[in-house]
Amino acid sequence: MTTIKDIAEKAGVAKSTVSRYLNNGYISEEKRKKIDQIIAETGYRPNTFARSLKAQDTKLLGVIIPRLNSPSTNDVLKGIDTTARENGYQMLITNSDQSDERELENIEMLVKQKVAGMILFARKITPQLQAVLAEVPMPVLLLGQQLAGIHSIVHEDYQAGKTMAEYAVSAGHRRYLFVGVSENDYAVGVLRKKGFLDVLAQTPNVKVDFIETSFSRRETYQKALVFLKDQSATYIACATDNIAVAVLKAAHELGYQVPQDFSLNGFGGYDSTDYVYPTITTTQYPYVQLGIDAVLTIQKLTQGEEVPEVIELPNRLVVKQSTAKLDKQE
């Protein structure tokens, strides 16, 4: 089945240009004739998404978040809200509650609401999501994950993992436990871990074990009460700050002292890492800036401007009380 994306590629134009064509918006006569030709050759017929969208600047941005209880999401929303208002946009926020089905329903609803553009906090890229995004007639911006053909803003997660591991190795640690999440989440579940492990793979006499958990502090806490009893690592790396906070709580209840018994780190730079004892070493991500950049990028896309398909935002290591240098390497 021919899609808007296919038409855009064959015509050598942006998907947003095809959307304007389908909805009687302004495009150059040259591009209009080219799209006319491609549509005639392919027999393309607009789907229900395209038919529901009229050519107009609604000044309404659709935002799809994965869950309500995420500190990082809240910080990104701060940046989105402030920048959207400054540029005359209103936000329509929908929550998918970590459900793939609800995520697809939210996309359909935002299309029917005729939003000018859509910002999607992507948990994972499923085949169903990929197929639906190919048909969405307005610009879409993914945050946190990448998909070929769709614009996205991501964090340098691989570099974050690498930097954290280099710090841990320089502190003399050789026995590690990595507490991660499912690889369905490519950014957190794959890239952070890969960056960390690639450094360890180049370090002699290293032993590393893995535990998979979820983003839930409660679930991680319950698991940590079990796996900490048998752990021999001098360094525990957690894929997120929430996971690190849960592990720290379990460690306190089991009588461990951090960092005397083992060092501990998270990723994200959440405020919560400053309000526990010891404070937790982490990687600071620019979440508010991500929200600012998201609005400015989607605005350019709605105006037909060219922007890089993938924008990466840097992060920085923040060393706190939960990690320490070993007196001697083990």
- H/E stretch holding 288: helix 287-302
CATH topology of domain 157-285: Rossmann fold (3.40.50)
202 by DSSP, 3-state: which?
A: coil
The domain limits of the chain are 4-46, 60-155+287-310, 157-285
The domains spanning 60-155+287-310 and 157-285 adopt the same CATH topology: yes
Query: Is the Cβ–Cβ distance between 134 and 4 less than 8 Å?
Result: yes
Residue 55, pLDDT score: 41
When computed from its CA atoms, the radius of gyration of the chain, rounded to whole angstroms, is 23
CATH for 60-155+287-310 is 3.40.50.2300
Task: Enter the tokens of residue 266.
Answer: 């998270």
Task: Enter the tokens of residue 309.
Answer: 């398909």
What confidence tens digit (pLDDT) does each residue in 243-299 have? 999 999 999 999 999 999 999 999 999 999 999 999 999 999 999 999 999 999 999
pTM for this structure? 0.78
* Residue 235: band (very low, low, confident or very high) from pLDDT cuts 50, 70, 90: very high
CA 26 to CA 9: how far, in whole Å?
19
Residue for token pair 């993914």 = 142
Residue 25, pLDDT score: 66
Residue 139 φ then ψ, to 5° = -60, 140
What class is the 4-46 domain?
mainly alpha
